[in-house]
Amino acid sequence: MLKLYGGGRSRATIPQWYLEELGVPYEFVTLDLQNGEHRQPEYLAINPMGKVPSIVDGDFKLWESGAILLYLAEKYGNLSADPEQKGAIAQWVLFANSTLGNGIFIEANRDREMPRLLGPLNQMFEQQPFVLGQEFSVADVAVGSILAYIPIMLKLDLSAYPAVLDYMKRISERPAFQKVFAARATA
């Protein structure tokens, strides 16, 4: 069975949400990050960087939430073989993990970057319900997770972006999202 390693409040919620969406059986291995369990030799053999999340799927080990999402989409999802679709999905996963995350969560960047990022997202969500159009995908897990962390961690005013708020509400109502994020909120 696939094992997902993470902490009580970590980015492991991102691949965990997607595993729930896919219905893939997995074991969540909770590491005590406060006590340095992620820096012990057993875990460093999985992820030499000592960060979470990581997965072990059979003999295969992978870390970084975006890489894990892309792997899960390829192996367990309904990812098309079309290189353009794969490229679009990779674009949004990488955007979420680097550009969007850094623009929102690095305080020195926030005032400048938030309007540059959320403005175009708001326009996009005025036209379509999900990142890639009409269907929920792994791109929504990547982008939606970063957006979902805003009210949990930052309490920023997003009223200037009503379509983004509608999107956040739409994804937060998904049963897999509720299962994972509700469990993390109480962890």
Q: Tens digit of pLDDT per residue, the chain (187 long)? A: 999 999 977 899 999 999 999 999 999 999 999 999 999 999 999 999 999 999 999 999 999 999 999 999 999 998 888 999 999 999 999 999 999 999 999 999 999 999 999 999 999 999 999 999 999 999 999 999 999 999 988 989 999 999 999 999 999 999 999 999 876 655 5
- Give CA–CA dist 93/8, Å, rounded: 23
3-state helix, strand, coil in the chain (%, to 5): 60, 10, 30
Q: Do the beta carbons of residue 69 and residue 14 sit within 8 Å?
A: yes
User: Strand 2-6 to strand 26-30: parallel, antiparallel, or no bridges (unpaired)?
Assistant: parallel
- Give CA–CA dist 15/21, Å, rounded: 10
State which amino acid sits at residue 166.
Answer: D
